[in-house]
A = this chain, B = another copy of it.
């Protein structure tokens, strides 16, 4: 029977640089996340991830199989959990749009503060690239939040204070994306904004003002 068929959990290797307690799998995921966020998913090589982790590329295959599954693990185990506090903040807020947006600001700030790699990853992969990550992040991570927001903003929409044509998912994407932009996102925004004059929430304030003012329905040739 040998080892009784059950595999021993991975033990810490003696020679690992910083002998912290978290196991290597977590360490690899962090390295991958950092590279993905900084360089973009398509542009990061497994070699770069392995090098950053102080490990051989074959380790990534050992733990995750291939790049797709590595990405999947990064999403499941690091990305999606990081968005939970945001949702929690929204759950606590009432139905008042003002309180909701306030909670949104606070939730985003918390998430970004504890997960600094989120902004570039979000901006690059969700807002711009069309790969699988967008599908996953948009359809699996965000759905909880937009449903919530849709409920809460329903009153405001009925009042005509929000553009009825706006998809609630767009609301979330827009708010999150625009909030993250000045922080660490697209270089164009980093350049255009004066970081000293404009805090990371300024763009969000603008957006909220836009949404809150109620632009009204579109003046285009509405078909129906």
A5 within 8 A of B: no
A80 within 8 A of B: no
Taking CB atoms, residues of chain B closer than 8 Å to A17 are: none
Taking CB atoms, residues of chain B closer than 8 Å to A186 are: 127-128, 130
A210 to B211, CA, bound (A): 9
**Chain A: how many interface residues by the 8 Å CB criterion?**
45
Of the candidates B129, B187, B193, B222, the one whose C-beta lies within 8 Å of that of A167 is B193
A42 to B41, CA, bound (A): 12
The answer to whether A215 and B209 have CB atoms under 8 Å apart is yes
Give this chain's copy count: 2
The answer to whether A218 and B192 have CB atoms under 8 Å apart is no
Of the candidates B129, B199, B205, B218, the one whose C-beta lies within 8 Å of that of A205 is B218
A interface residues (Cβ-Cβ under 8 A, vs B): 40, 42-43, 123-124, 126-130, 134, 138, 163, 165, 167, 169-170, 173, 186-189, 191-194, 196-199, 201-202, 205-207, 209-210, 213, 215, 218-223
